[in-house]
Amino acid sequence: MRKGLVIVNTGNGKGKTTAALGILFRSYGRGLRSCVLQFLKAEKSKTGEYLAAQKLGIEWHYCGDGFVFDPEEALSSAEVARAGWEMAKEKIASNDYDLIILDEMIYPLTFGWLKTDQVIDWLKANKPADLHLIITGRNAPQALAEYADLVTEMKEIKHPFHDQKLSAQPGIDF
């Protein structure tokens, strides 16, 4: 039986976005119709994953303005995130996809830019039953974890950027 899973990748470690991209890779192998909406990051972020998606014709939308963890200057970022959620709703309701990734969408929830309960209520009412949905970000709200089918916490055990003062490596970290 095909059942659309709601997958949440959370925790303080690496691998939340990365594991979502791994599923995107699998879904590409199986010819699933996929779409990525990436919150917080701005168009100018030409990451390895964005370049790969371009090469493979996988639909990719930036729904951020480059905001990085400064809630004090976040008014316009909040607007951009809300516009991203409006786009996400369109994509989800369209029934045109097998897999939709809402990357880092947990941040707009924890910052209060979007109401977690409203998002979950909307998903319960409108997400097609066979659509797989992946939502990533630190500190997943309890209500989102309860709604999800699969929740994984990525836990940092050892991290070279802290421990060895290494910079992020292209093709590996972004």
Q: Closer to a second copy by CB, 110 or 152: give it.
A: 152
Q: Which stretch binds a second copy (CB under 8 A): 43-51, 78-86, 111-119, 121-129?
A: 43-51
Nearest one of 10, 34, 56, 53 to 155, comparing CA atoms: 10
Q: Give the Cα-Cα-Cα angle 131, 150, 43 (nearest 5 degrees).
A: 60
Q: Which stretch binds a second copy (CB under 8 A): 62-70, 88-96, 120-128, 146-154?
A: 146-154
Note whether 151 binds a second copy by CB under 8 A.
Answer: yes
CB atoms under 10 Å from CB of 53, counted, come to: 20
| CA-based R_g, the chain, Å | 16
Note whether 55 binds a second copy by CB under 8 A.
Answer: yes
Are residues 134 and 100 in contact, defined by beta-carbon separation less than 8 angstroms? yes
Note whether 30 binds a second copy by CB under 8 A.
Answer: yes
Q: Give the Cα-Cα-Cα angle 159, 163, 168 (nearest 5 degrees).
A: 60
**Binding-residue total with a second copy (CB under 8 A):** 62
Note whether 50 binds a second copy by CB under 8 A.
Answer: yes
> Across the strands, what pairs with 170?
none
Q: Closer to a second copy by CB, 80 or 120: give it.
A: 120
| 3-state SS assignment for residue 16 | helix
Note whether 170 binds a second copy by CB under 8 A.
Answer: yes
Catalog residues that contact a second copy under the rule CB under 8 A: 1-3, 5, 7, 9-11, 13-15, 17-30, 32, 47-56, 98-99, 132, 145, 148-160, 163-164, 166-167, 169-172, 174
